Structure 1
Amino acid sequence: MGMVIAVLLVWFIVAFLLYPNFNLLKTTFFADGSFSLEPFHKLLNSERALKSLLHSFALAISLVITVNIIGIFLVLIVDYFDIKGAKILRLGYYTTLIYGGVVLVSGYKFLYGEHGFITKFLLEIFPNFDATWFKGYWAVLFVMTFACTSNHVIFLSNAIKKIDYQTIEAAKNMGASTFYILRRVVLPVLKPSLFAITILLFLTGLGATSAPLILGGRDFQTINPMILSFANSVTSRDMASLLAIILGVATLILLTFMRKIEKDGNFMSISKVKSVIQKQKINNKFVNVIVHALAYLLFIVYIVPVLLIIIFSFTDAYSISTSTFSLSHFTLDNYIMLFTQASAFKPYLVSIFYAAASAIFVVILTLIVSRILHKYNNKFSTALEYSMLIPWLLPSTLIALGLIITYDTPRVIMGNNVLTGTIWILLFAFIIVQIPFTLRMLKAAFFTIDSSLEEAAKSLGAGTFYTFRRVLLPIILPSTLAVLALNFNGHLADYDIAVFLYHPLFQPLGIVIKNSTDPMATGDAKALTFVYSVILMIISSITLYLVYGRKSD
């Protein structure tokens, strides 16, 4: 049995983690059997491609600044300063946890776009107002700034709660002001979390797809939308591959840099006994008013798109097309249509299949791998772990292109079957990108198990599989179910990978929602998209409660 598992693992690693990526390099630089730099020449002669590279790096640098400013401010408002209505503010700031990606971008476009609710309101006040104001670099930066604070509200909040309050009290007793303590005591302790979040933000900006594609317009396209454009043409696939490789190299350099800084840095707290942090009052009345005003202004920015999506999901196509709301146009037809018409519900079934199947498969796969890593410490286990972390080093675009180019013809390793153009290639892509996160979580869960439990089971004559099923699995089951739920939730409305690999007859939700943002989309299609978005938010809220909420009950 062990040999069969080892062979299957080696086949999976070679077929999906190694071969497609090496084949992508070969196809790009050895297209005619000999090494060629022709893709670089084509790239340097393409103004569109060079601009996309410049735009991606500009967006990445900008996001690092804007998201960190907003994200740190949100966390301080909710968890550090004594702000009136902090619990209500928290609900608004945490909305990005229940909707994101193409769903969030489409919501902001409905609000601020050419035919958006806010734009129409501004046109009524200022008739000469430019209706196309919300597009390009600033629109993309605005949306992504408020979309990417999720990591702050999760990781930075936890970091603040772990600060030793005694150090703050000591600084106060020495006469330090509130903001001096914040700058010299609090923020330095948050440095590890901030550094990790900053790297993730930079990578997010480099790999942005939905926002530039929907809001960037012709003048602001980033690498991934350009890769998608080039990949649709056989003659320019080498350009798409080269851009994906450049994105991958940038990712590797950043992750290497991050590991070096973490290794060289000293971020450890010297406190031995920690006291629970207490919220700090802002003594300066003027500053207190300004902070409260900014806090509630940001709350409005976060909450309005969500509220409008919910409200307009109950209106007809006319109200949505004209961005007007009237009780006379209130209807439940959109929800009835979703659950009674097969064509309307089909994208949900497709997305549920892909999200559930990939989440279940990757959990089973990583449970096996985690068990091997927990039980053995040899060259095979080391190679196995590093191989499984390969997708963590590669952007999803590179993974998608590798699968497309490699399996568009019959391959022996795939039983002489073609994957490109089938419904299965997207499923494999979802599995691949979920592996690193799932493995890290489940491996950590395994290493919390007391080894004496397994030894006791063995001494009682229990077999390996029986011990795993009856002793080990029940212990790690809560962590396993949590990871399963997060993986399912994360890919239910995925667009960035799906746009490269989806089957035209089986469009997942991400594709359907993106298509509804097109100016030529019908009112009914837009109405149904709002319903999709509301249901997705409900599912996401339930998932987050099951994973996080019950822990605090």
Structure 2
Amino acid sequence: MTTATAEHSLTNATRVAGPPKRPSWIRRRWSTVFTLALLAIVLIGYVIGPMIATARRSVSQDKAVILGFSFKAWGDFFANPTQSSAIGGSIVLSILSVIVAGVLGTAVAILLTRWEFPGRRVCQVLALLPIALPPLMGVWSFKLLFGVGGRIPYAMQEWFALDQKDFWLEGLAGVLVVHAMTMYPYFYLTVSAALANADASLEEAAESMGAGRFRVWTRVTLPLLTPALVAGSLITFMSAMSSYTAPLLFQYTDVMTQQIVIAKTNGDMRLASIISTTLAIISIVFLAIIRSYEQRKVYRTQSKGGGKRRSTVTSTPAKVVLFLIAVPTTIFLVLPILMIFVLSITAKGGWLQSVFPTGYTLEWWAQLFTGGFDFWRPVTNSLIMSVLAVGGAVLLGAGAAYVMSRMQFRGKLALDIAIMLPWALPGTVVAINLITAFASPSPFAAGQVLVGTFAILPLAYFVRFNPLIFRSTFASLSQLDPNLEDAARSLGASWWYAFRKVVLPLISRGIMAGALLAFVDGVGEFVASVLIYTPDWIPLSIAVNNANYQGNIGTGSVYGMIQVILVLIVLIITKRMESKSDTITPTM
């Protein structure tokens, strides 16, 4: 090349390059600082600050108001056998709930993700329906099915002359069945997303080196699922710790949430604050232990390749076996929803001493057309509030997950714990914290009072369900090697372009899984809503509770089925989006 040609090329290169841009690390650092600052404001204003106020109340000298300092009540608390039993009972219940829900959810995820067989897609949708169960109606349907005097034990007596008492589920066993069938989706969603994103070449390489299927699963596949299993374990453990309705209806009194309600009913807010603080500490310790275990190793793939293709079952006997396993299992998991549907078409007093209802009616469903706006208002209210809360949680939760997984800074574990803290607290505690913080003008509410306004409920949903999106997205990012993004950057892509074209498509399943859980829980949230809702903005869960309280089980069941239908629509849309994303390869 001649000197003139080289100079000409250099001139063109300079002209094409244009003015120098700010270094990418500056742009990246500012985006990180902005995300962390926004996260800090949310945590301080809506989580940590109110929680500190609750802890402060726990050392008050007076049981009703905050007055002075005294740790005597703490000593009395730990010396009380009832409280010690509640602490032990809550821990045992939570650990067992993680085990039973983890085994069930992981097994269902593997079955419906790794094999192609007739009816698989239908089973995938139906397997997620239990997360749509309304809190009160859902647990009540479990009790009507499996509890004392339940329809299934009654059927065993009527059809097979067996003593129905032998089939009654009550106490710890009953609560575990409820938790297993309502919390397994936490594992199912995260594990399904992890299986879809896992690098198939790793398993193929292990098989080519002579490893059997069992060794491949135990040494390759399951370790890659660790972030997903950790996410499911955290969410399930904290959900079980804050569970109230199931222990109440199945008469398992050794739980801390019931002690909180009893203390509040007796006007002892100091004791309620002590129990709430203890519950939060237990959840924080569990979170620290499980995160420490997760960080012992790195569980990442080093390619952008998608998950292993589903094995198409060609053998007729194998198809029949998989069908006979998947379909009855799925039907069993949706039995509580079927129970709610039957209640919605059962005439008043038409199901007393019989296996099946003796009287049917469409009177309750007719309210869809005759009830007017008053009937539909709780539905539209819940939709509006849930969409607002989920939208904010997706932006903050996914952004926080990206920063936490990609950046190294001091206090990272403490920040992780603070983000998950709202999910560790019972809904009643979150509601009381928000009432305490926003019953008067606050700088975190632009100087306004939020209690008694529309904004308080979406804020409670946002605070409570942000950890779901954060943890689900973090699990997906933990599987993704940062070198993929760095490779895109080294080829000239901007940070935003690399994130949008490389990172986002690979973590979209995790984000959608968390958003789905948050939306479903928002539509059906009851424990916090019952304390802070306003008459003008009654959510769907309160409408269900009011109808049942007034003896209108049919109306409450119709509202419950509306919630199920809404979630079913969201599930179908999500599955269509996932099927489209399966055909899209991240591109530069």
So what's the TM-score if we normalise by structure 2? 0.70
Percent identity over paired residues = 21
Cα contact 2:175–2:246 (8 A) shared by 1: yes
Q: 1:238 aligns with which of 270, 278, 285?
A: 270
Partner of 1:535: 562
Partners in 2 of 1:426 and 1:231 — Cα distance? 21
Is residue 2:239 matched to residue 1:204? yes
Partner of 1:399: 430
SS of 2:523's equivalent in the other structure is coil
Is residue 2:197 matched to residue 1:162? yes
Partners in 2 of 1:415 and 1:85 — Cα distance? 52
Aligned length, in residue pairs: 519
Is residue 2:334 matched to residue 1:303? yes
1:237-288: CA deviation from partner (whole Å, max 9, x where unpaired): 11111111112112222333333333331323467877843428799x9x99
* Structure 1 residues 298 and 551, CA gap change in structure 2 (3 angstroms): closer
Moved more, 337-346 or 394-403: 337-346
Is residue 2:522 matched to residue 1:491? yes
What is the CA RMSD across the aligned residues, in angstroms?
5.1
SS of 1:220's equivalent in the other structure is coil
1:61-110: CA deviation from partner (whole Å, max 9, x where unpaired): 11222122212221222223566654454344232344464443233223
1:548 deviates by 4.3
1:22 deviates by 2.0
Q: 1:226 aligns with which of 242, 252, 259?
A: 259
Partner of 2:10: none
* Structure 1 residues 225 and 354, CA gap change in structure 2 (3 angstroms): farther
1:431 deviates by 3.4
Q: 1:337 aligns with which of 353, 356, 367?
A: 367
Partners in 1 of 2:517 and 2:103 — Cα distance? 27
2:173 maps to a residue whose letter is W
Partners in 1 of 2:545 and 2:232 — Cα distance? 27
2:247 maps to a residue whose letter is P
Is residue 2:573 matched to residue 1:546? yes
1:150 deviates by 1.1
Partners in 2 of 1:41 and 1:259 — Cα distance? 31
Q: 2:221 aligns with which of 182, 186, 208?
A: 186
Partners in 1 of 2:494 and 2:309 — Cα distance? 39
Which ranges in structure 2 are unaligned for 5 or more consecutive residues? 1-36, 497-504, 581-588
Partners in 2 of 1:274 and 1:105 — Cα distance? 38
1:128 deviates by 4.3
Q: For 1:22-101, list aligned pairs within 5 A.
A: 22-31=52-61, 33-81=67-115, 85-99=119-133, 101=135
Partners in 2 of 1:363 and 1:354 — Cα distance? 14
SS of 1:318's equivalent in the other structure is coil
Cα contact 1:334–1:528 (8 A) shared by 2: yes
* Structure 1 residues 37 and 278, CA gap change in structure 2 (3 angstroms): same
1:411-446: CA deviation from partner (whole Å, max 9, x where unpaired): 89879987667776444422332455668999999x
Cα contact 2:150–2:168 (8 A) shared by 1: no
* Structure 1 residues 199 and 134, CA gap change in structure 2 (3 angstroms): same
So what's the TM-score if we normalise by structure 1? 0.74
Q: For 1:244-263, list aligned pairs within 5 A.
A: 244-263=276-295
Q: 1:348 aligns with which of 379, 387, 395?
A: 379
Is residue 2:158 matched to residue 1:150? no
Which ranges in structure 1 are unaligned for 5 or more consecutive residues? 1-6, 457-474
Is residue 2:54 matched to residue 1:21? no
* Structure 1 residues 69 and 290, CA gap change in structure 2 (3 angstroms): farther
Moved more, 69-78 or 113-122: 113-122
Partners in 2 of 1:154 and 1:51 — Cα distance? 33
Partners in 1 of 2:535 and 2:579 — Cα distance? 43
1:47-67: CA deviation from partner (whole Å, max 9, x where unpaired): 433322222111111122212
SS of 1:334's equivalent in the other structure is coil
Partners in 1 of 2:195 and 2:158 — Cα distance? 45
2:294 maps to a residue whose letter is E
